[in-house]
Amino acid sequence: MIIPYGRQSIDDDDIQAVTEVLRSDWLTQGPSVPAFEAALAAYCGVPHCIAVNSATSALHIACQALGIGQGDIVWTSPNSFVASANCAKYLGADVDFVDISLATGNLCPHQLERKLIQAKAENRLPKVVIPVHFAGQSCDMRAIHALSQTYGFAIIEDASHAIGGAYCGSKVGGCHFSDMTVFSFHPVKVMTTGEGGAITTRDPQLAATLEKLRSHGITRDPSEMTIPAHGPWYYQQQTLGYNYRLTDIQAALGLSQLGKLDTFITERNRLARQYDSLLRDLPITALQQSDDCLNAYHLYIVNINDAQPEQRADVFSQLREAGIGVNVHYIPIHLQPYYQKMGYKQGDFPNAEAYYQSALTLPLYPRLTDEQQQYVVDVLSKLL
């Protein structure tokens, strides 16, 4: 593959930041993790940030911190990576989906309202809703938040695609319309720590719970203990947690990457606008952009107009053969065998299914050159 669909941008200063940690006393549980968390919180304009080893772990403990367990119901978008739904299954909860808007690929607030009205009548309201900021553009959080006030559910934003983006004038991660926001630092995402994730929140109690869950359910804070500390060595395990810690090696990379995040976003937006204009005359539809959002542009996706499944597969294969690493986001979660075992079937979420049928993710990352982009457009134009 000559041109991947996404890839990291690592400079010498990123490498230097990592090697400095390798030469230091602390490979993990040192000063880099809190430094990264403080910088990320400041960037998002939010009081609390908890760094963890992946967005999957972040989603898991975010659900757990909200008390999700057996018998609870969690709703998310079917047009997402499976981790957005699996987090609730880890805790024994039931997962259901809210169909998307075809224009944006995001969870549709009107469908959400319709489903809430029905769920209320059936006494099956969700405890948590997890909107996914698809491809890097925020969901309509004002509308979703307003519904949460009426129907009494908590909100976890899955912003795995959207770090560096903004919504209604505030950075994604500010949690103005949610309880928590989750980020991913996998290398294909907008910024990276190799593997890694983070949770932001405005709620100090949630932050304290998340911090414990990240590290075995243990606290070393005397003010949180049930009895006076036996001595300076003393810690208490107060709940069942995990080892979901980020290393200092990763946090140093994250801190260095965070300093470049805005330039990554600018470059991704420039390339996206260029795709818009280069693809203008092709029989494709790009995702609709909202004036409320600065898109972080994790992904640039087009839908091939009126595509039959075979046609998309054909275009996909020919682009791959031409050395262009296209991809497809996403196979609707409810069509995965694991979820079909719970009774979900084809036809349950028609927009997500229709969207999937014609979607194609084109290469987009800050170091994609104008020449490479033109090559992608030229090959695609010939195929369509």
Ligand X SMILES: *Cc1c(COP(=O)(O)O)cnc(C)c1O
In this complex, which beta carbon is closest to ligand X, that of residue 279 or of residue 360?
A: 360
- What is the C-alpha to C-alpha distance for residues 302 and 355, in angstroms, rounded to an integer? 10
Give residues 148-187 in contact with ligand X (rule: CB under 6 A): 158, 160-161, 184, 186
Shortest distance, position 55 Cβ to ligand X, whole Å: 3
Q: Alpha helices of the chain — where are they, by DSSP H?
A: 12-22, 32-44, 55-65, 83-90, 109-121, 141-151, 204-214, 248-258, 261-278, 309-321, 337-340, 350-358, 370-383
Binding track over 2-31 against ligand X, x by CB under 6 A: ------------------------------
In this complex, which beta carbon is closest to ligand X, that of residue 157 or of residue 267?
A: 157
- Give φ, ψ of 162 to 5 degrees: -120, 10
Number of other residues whose CB lies within 10 A of the CB of residue 266: 14
In this complex, which beta carbon is closest to ligand X, that of residue 81 or of residue 275?
A: 81
Shortest distance, position 320 Cβ to ligand X, whole Å: 21
- What is the C-alpha to C-alpha distance for residues 53 and 195, in angstroms, rounded to an integer? 6
CB burial of 277-301 (b: ≥16 within 10 Å; e: otherwise) equals ebbeeeebebbebbeebbbbbbbbb
Q: Residue 58: which of 226, 187, 173 has the closest Cα?
A: 173
Shortest distance, position 338 Cβ to ligand X, whole Å: 16
Q: Interface with ligand X by CB under 6 A: which range of 48-56, 107-115, 220-228, 331-339?
A: 48-56
- What is the C-alpha to C-alpha distance for residues 343 and 63, in angstroms, rounded to an integer? 23
Q: Residue 158: which of 93, 95, 82, 215 has the closest Cα?
A: 82
Q: In this structure, are residues 249 and 18 in contact, taking their beta carbons and an 8 Å threshold?
A: yes
Shortest distance, position 136 Cβ to ligand X, whole Å: 10
Structure token pair of residue 190: 């907008």
Shortest distance, position 351 Cβ to ligand X, whole Å: 17
Shortest distance, position 2 Cβ to ligand X, whole Å: 24
Q: According to the binding rule CB under 6 A, does residue 210 interact with ligand X?
A: no
In this complex, which beta carbon is closest to ligand X, that of residue 236 or of residue 363?
A: 363
Structure token pair of residue 314: 């054909």
Give residues 310-349 in contact with ligand X (rule: CB under 6 A): none
- What is the C-alpha to C-alpha distance for residues 179 and 163, in angstroms, rounded to an integer? 17
Tell which one of 6, 174, 197, 366 touches ligand X (CB under 6 A).
Answer: 197
Shortest distance, position 254 Cβ to ligand X, whole Å: 12
In this complex, which beta carbon is closest to ligand X, that of residue 190 or of residue 380?
A: 190
Binding track over 269-308 against ligand X, x by CB under 6 A: ----------------------------------------
Give residues 114-153 in contact with ligand X (rule: CB under 6 A): 132
Shortest distance, position 261 Cβ to ligand X, whole Å: 16
In this complex, which beta carbon is closest to ligand X, that of residue 130 or of residue 272?
A: 130
In this complex, which beta carbon is closest to ligand X, that of residue 56 or of residue 219?
A: 56
Q: Residue 55: which of 166, 193, 174, 257 has the closest Cα?
A: 193
Residues 6+ apart with CB under 8 A from 347: 353
Give residues 70-99 in contact with ligand X (rule: CB under 6 A): 80-81, 83-84
Q: According to the binding rule CB under 6 A, does residue 55 interact with ligand X?
A: yes
Amino acid letter for position 352: A
In this complex, which beta carbon is closest to ligand X, that of residue 47 or of residue 194?
A: 194
- If you search the block for the tokens 């997890």, which residue do you land on? 130
In this complex, which beta carbon is closest to ligand X, that of residue 134 or of residue 316?
A: 134
Q: According to the binding rule CB under 6 A, does residue 106 interact with ligand X?
A: no
Q: How many residues bind ligand X (CB under 6 A)?
A: 14
Structure token pair of residue 5: 């669909």
In this complex, which beta carbon is closest to ligand X, that of residue 74 or of residue 132?
A: 132
Structure token pair of residue 8: 């990291």
Binding site for ligand X (CB under 6 A): 54-56, 80-81, 83-84, 132, 158, 160-161, 184, 186, 197
